[in-house]
Structure 1
Amino acid sequence: MKKLGMIIASISMVLTVITPSMTPHEVHAATNGDVVVNEVAWMGTTVDYNDEWIELYNNTGSAISLDGWTLNATDGSPSINLTGSIPADGYYILERTDDNAISGVTADHIYSGALSNSGENMNLRDDNGALIDNVDAWHEGDNDTKATMERQDPGVAGSDASNWVTSTGSYSEGKGTPSSSNTSGSGGSGGGEACTDTTEHLNQVSEAPDAINVYFNKCAMNQYADAGNEANYNVNLEDRLLKRINAATTSIDFATYEINLPKVVDVLIQKASEGVDVRVIADSKDATDPHYVDRFKTMRLYVEEMVRGKDMVVGTADDIHVFSDSPMLAVEDTNLRADHNLPSSPDDFKERTIMVGNTEMTGYLFVEAEQQSDGTYYSPDNQMHNKFALIDDQWVFTGSWNFTVTGLYGSEENMTNGVLDGNQQHVVEVNSSELSSIYETEFNEMWGTSTLSPSTSNANFGPRKVDNTTHQVTIGGKTVEVYFSAGDDAVGRMAELVKTEADLNTYFTIFAWSDQTLVDELKYKWEGSYQDQQGTRTGFDVKGVFSSDFWNQWWSASVEMTGRTVTGSENNPNIRWANAAPVYKDAEARKLHSKTMLVDADTNSDPTVIVGSTNWSTNGNDVNDENMLIIHDDAITNQFVQEFNARYIQAGGTVN
């Protein structure tokens, strides 16, 4: 297995150094707007959230000395005394702590002091103290994708919110354009226009026994549909989940990596108040990690709503039973609690001091978790990454979609307006008591028991689980395989399938892929060799789209499949393809989040699609809690072809 490392995607900037021998017109005094704060990585990078950086831009045709200039936050941190100069029509990069934030770009200035993720008011002043530019808030940027906030028009100074966008450019450590032109909110990786229809299309939906319904929240290209098999696309996945939960009469088992959708929380609470048995497994986070601190506060407030139930009283019949891989302590901020109509204090929960990993924590414990043999709790380092719901021991609702605002809508405003501008996702729901029973076995292994009350001592998450489920069922004549991580070697089964069952083609969209065996088996299909930079084209067809988040990470299969060498790969066992495959980085507005592989699509050779929550990586296979479905069916696979072609053409690929 390959390890995460640094890569290079940016071109080093040639710095203009101002010397005393330069003539006066080469360096001049600045006026308001001559230099602007052009881009801010207030969220850090995919490598480290502490790797914050700031870019200044010179709007003039002359170099400007920055000696004596300051860039200060009004709250006192950071407080930066600038030196050196910024070249004509050029950039000046400030990196926090050291020069490691952006590979391939040398910092012009190293500063100290963290940028608050909740926002800063920063003033850029010249050596006379005159205000040159101001940034009064983080109007844009994305902490999930590590996409920077960049100025749409660098020629307009000041902090007009409409002049800031979230970058869709890409560099080694995230989304952004350090030391290069801003993306101005357009494009991704420059692909073609696949489809522009935003109307919801529900074409293949059935309530019948053995039904398998597939939903895509982004557009699909139904010109690639088999007759009468047009896909469901531009679908509001929340509506489909609400419909399924609302129909529950006896039980709901709900496993969620993250949740902050108020309608979903409300309907779960309502069903519990009606007497439906509702069990929820929710992934816990590190409450001090800046990546999650605000989101995890929000999630815990919603989870506490569920724990209290409709009457908001702890320990009554309408409460939802919630359990986690690591314990949750209640949020005590009275204003935030008021926003969720919670009691002003959580003191009706027992205040406890507990050991979580190696950390002692004190607070109001309101969600219990798996305990170690000595009674301490496991840390939240591993991820309970599932996103599935089991309804009445009959319906299985699963896929790549996290039950979040970002995952579907992109923003609170979009959610209010019903605009689906979130990450690219898929959902599969199956009407099968046999498949539901298999998922319930997995749920109960994490829960520790089959009853309503979880067991802290019998629960097993992540690598402590065992392979205890059936892996193949027949649903309406279709062979469906199901694998769970950790323990079932789901990605190993994928590699075996490619090796022994893929005859004609493999297409994929993937968020993160580092598994070496899987990419090597696909290399052999493509060019008949497992060796680095060796092989001859076999005629086997490969097409794919990788998340731009990891396109240039040395461990990513994208690097090997395109035959590249990037920083970090020179001294690691990357096995590059001699014949570069037509694979692309995504051109999505937000994340390409699916983990989907199609094998022998649109052929007579057992068309198969692999879907679920599992990234094809060591964590996805051996550490996290995940689920994967392998569906052998030509019609279902063809529906995924329709969505794949939209993503592929948009990314720059060509479909015959």
Structure 2
Amino acid sequence: YDDTDWDGDAVFYVDDASFSSPTQSPDIKCITRYPVSPQAGEDITVTATITDDGTITTSRLYYRVNFGVWTDVLPDSTVDSFFYFTIPGQNDGDLIEYYVYAIDNDNNSSTSDTFRVQVGNAVYYVYFQDDTLRKKLGKFIHEAQYSIDIAMYECFTDTIVDSLIAAWNRGVKVRVITDYSYIDRQGTQDLINAGIPVIHEGIGDNSTSHIMHHKFIVRDYRDGDPVNDWIWTGSFNASDYLHADNAIVIKSTELADAFEREFNQMWGSSTDTPDTNNARTGTNKTDVLPTHSFVVGGDSIWVYFSPQDNPIQYLVNLVNRAQSEIGYLIYSFTRDDLGDALISAFQRGVWVGGVHENNASNPEYDSLYNAGVPVYWENLPSQWYSLHDKFMVVDKIFVETGSMNWSNSGTGYNDENVIIIKNATVAQLYWQEFTERYTEAGGSLYVKEVKLHKPIIKAYPNPFYSVCYFNTQNLEIYNASGRLVRKLGDLTYWDGKDKEGRAVLPGIYFVKKPGKNQLVKVVKIR
């Protein structure tokens, strides 16, 4: 999967690949559907472009619902090389799979890729530590009807252990993968003593020296019924300590399938019993996903796993595409490439703000701070042990979260997951959490004031290189973290220097008139 030309919208339902061969089989391409995200009872129109050096004699669309029997339909109409098919409306939550087949007058045939769509809107639940994550996870496990597959770094707190044992005792199939460091904990041993199969990453011939750092659960995927498939992921560990954490729960068969594939290769099989000879973890894992981009209820979602997908590259790409603002909370941040991308975004006028855990490895903090980016060490309430979040909000539309710290180990060695979601409502929930942690740490979100108030101060040119002119006097210049840089007095221009006469760094600055609830954003380019 290559997202070089990624514009922020998943296009897994469009296939531009050619299927022609030396025998001149029909060429099937540009398969699209409308609507992209069908609702219950809504017919789906599938359009395919089919060309051939001869004549297309037969074309059919094959579809099936919830892994059932394949049904074929003939095209409703054809216009030149465009073939139009209809899939009848289905029930909410049903999973539809479909592909196109064609034969020409020389009896050469071609078959397209198979595509999937789930009927209905996306369903999300977003939780933070204030939502009592242990209880939310216990409830999530309690609602399992058929299967629970849990890959979690720490999975031994009483609430979670009791919930898993209760699910096991009522007949739910439970499989657990944890980290070697916690296999001897009492809670983990209680799971094993209850008969639940539990393994860690350091077993079998394919074991590696790394951390199984996942924090995901797949629920009810193994019953073959797409209507009740859920995933849980985020930064939350079921451990003894309370941290500033997040979790997101999503109803989706395709996402459940993606996380289940990751689980099964670490488990070594798709059965109830692990196969330690086939189990692969860490750098022995391979990319087992047919695609990394999905459309869930109209929302674009991307899923990546460490180390096989090197997920940090997709965070860098996400930052490089930012248009207005980036806010993040991070436990450990050591990657220069992501740090450089954030500095570059800041210098081109994107508002960037971040909060770092001060007891973890965070060398990028100094680089960002020295570049003028308003970053802060966390200042959490006393009941929380650390800032354990690992999420980023971009343009209040995209959210990146998961288990991965932004480090070499996170992207290149450990078992981790990253999920990127394009949904403004979900992004707003994460932005609110970021705002609380950011202001608590000492930051000021001036970007909000700029958007709320029509400026009476005019600045030109903006962005500027050396001098920015204004239409009024007695102005004050602030940097993006709210610190006073300079008072201009009678001057109607700013030469990009602070009160000591030193040139300021490129980035975002705010111009304010004292006593007025107005300010304007200016961007110094160099």
Which residue among 208, 211, 217 is the counterpart of 1:389? 217
Shift of residue 386, structure 1, vs aligned partner: 0.6
- Report the equivalent of 1:524: 344
Q: Corresponding residue for 1:282? A: 178
> How far off its partner does 1:435 sit?
0.5
Query: For 1:333-352, what aligned pairs fall within 5 Å after superposition?
Result: none
Partner of 2:233: 398
Residues 50-84 of structure 1 show CA distances to partners (whole Å, capped at 9, x for unaligned) of xxxxxxxxxxxxxxxxxxxxxxxxxxxxxxxxxxx
Specify the alignment match of 1:240 in structure 2.
136
In the superposition, relative to structure 1, how do residues 648 and 215 fare at CA in structure 2: closer, same or farther (>3 Å)? same
In the alignment, what sits opposite 2:332?
A: 512
Tell me, in whole angstroms, the C-alpha distance in 2 between the residues paired with 1:448 and 1:475. 28
* Structure 1 equivalent of residue 31 of structure 2: none
Q: Distance in 2 between matches of 1:389 and 1:654?
A: 36
Quote the Cα distance in structure 2 between the aligned partners of 1:641 and 1:370. Answer: 42
Contact 2:183 2:189 in 1 (8 A): no
The answer to whether structure 1 residue 587 and structure 2 residue 397 are counterparts is no
SS in 1 for 2:131: coil
* Aligned pairs (5 A) from 1:97-108: none
Partner of 2:358: 548
Tell me by how many angstroms 1:504 deviates.
1.4
Residues 1:324 and 2:200 aligned together: yes
**TM-score, length-scaled by structure 2:** 0.58
Task: Give the distance between the partners of 1:370 and 1:624, measured in 2 at CA.
Answer: 17
Partner of 2:155: 259
* Matches of 2:439 and 2:204, distance apart in 1: 45
* Per-residue deviation, residues 519-555 of structure 1 (Å, max 9, x unmatched): 112222222xxxxxxxxxx3221111011114xx6x6
Shift of 1:271: 1.5
- Secondary structure of the residue aligned to 1:539 is coil
Q: Give distance in 2, aligned partners of 1:400 and 1:630.
A: 14
Residue identity in the other structure for 2:197: H
Amino acid across the alignment from 1:473? F
Between the aligned partners of 1:302 and 1:485, the Cα distance in structure 2 is: 27
SS at match of 2:409: helix
CA distance in 2, matches of 1:387, 1:464: 19
Query: What percentage of aligned pairs have identical amino acids?
Result: 34
Deviations 1:607-634, CA, capped at 9 Å, x for gaps: 1010011001110001000111101111
**Quick one: distance in 2 between partners of 1:395 and 1:611?**
17
Aligned length: 316
2:204, 2:425 → 1: CA distance? 41
Which AA in structure 2 matches 1:382? Answer: H
- The answer (yes or no) to whether the contact 2:322–2:350 under 8 Å persists in 1 is no
AA at the equivalent of 2:171: G
Residues 253 and 391, structure 1, Cα contact 8 Å, conserved in 2: yes
Query: Which amino acid in the other structure matches residue 232 of structure 2?
Result: F
Counterpart amino acid of 2:363? S
Q: Is the 8 A contact 1:324 1:370 kept in 2?
A: no
In 2: Cα distance, 1:259 partner to 1:244 partner: 14
Q: Deviation per CA, 1:565-612, whole angstroms, max 9, x where unpaired?
A: xxxxxxxxxxxx2xx1111010113201100111112xxxxx101001
Q: What is the alpha-carbon root mean square deviation over aligned residues?
A: 1.6
Task: Give deviations 1:424-460, integer Å, cap 9, x for gaps.
Answer: 0001000111110110000001001111111111111
Asked if 1:432 corresponds to 2:252, the answer is yes
Cα displacement string for residues 258-288 of structure 1 (whole angstroms, at most 9, x for unaligned residues): 1221121122112112221110001102xxx
- Of 115, 121, 126 in structure 2, the residue corresponding to residue 214 of structure 1 is 126
Q: Distance in 2 between matches of 1:587 and 1:510?
A: 13
Determine if the alignment matches structure 1 residue 479 to structure 2 residue 269.
no
Report the secondary structure of 1:253's partner residue: strand
How many angstroms apart in 1 are the aligned matches of 2:387 and 2:441? Answer: 11
SS in 1 for 2:236: coil
Runs of 4+ aligned structure 1 residues displaced above 4 Å come to none
Structure 2 CA distance, aligned partners of 1:655 and 1:242?
A: 35
- The answer for the alignment partner of 1:305 in structure 2 is 190
Give, in whole Å, the separation in 1 of the partners of 2:404 and 2:138: 24
Structure 2 CA distance, aligned partners of 1:270 and 1:522?
46
Name the SS for the 2:333 alignment partner. coil
TM-score for the superposition, normalised by structure 1: 0.47
1:543-582, aligned counterparts within 5 Å?
543-550=353-360, 556-563=363-370, 577=371, 580-582=372-374
Check if 1:498 corresponds to 2:319.
yes
CA distance in 2, matches of 1:434, 1:296: 31
- Secondary structure at the counterpart of residue 161 of structure 2: helix
Instruction: Check the 8 A contact 1:597/1:609 in 2, yes or no.
Output: yes
2:419 aligned with 1:629: yes
The structure showing larger relative contact order (alpha-carbon pairs under 8 Å, at least 6 residues apart) is 1
Indicate if the aligned counterparts of 1:209 and 1:432 stay in contact, CA closer than 8 A: no
Partner Cα distance (1:389, 1:238) in 2: 14
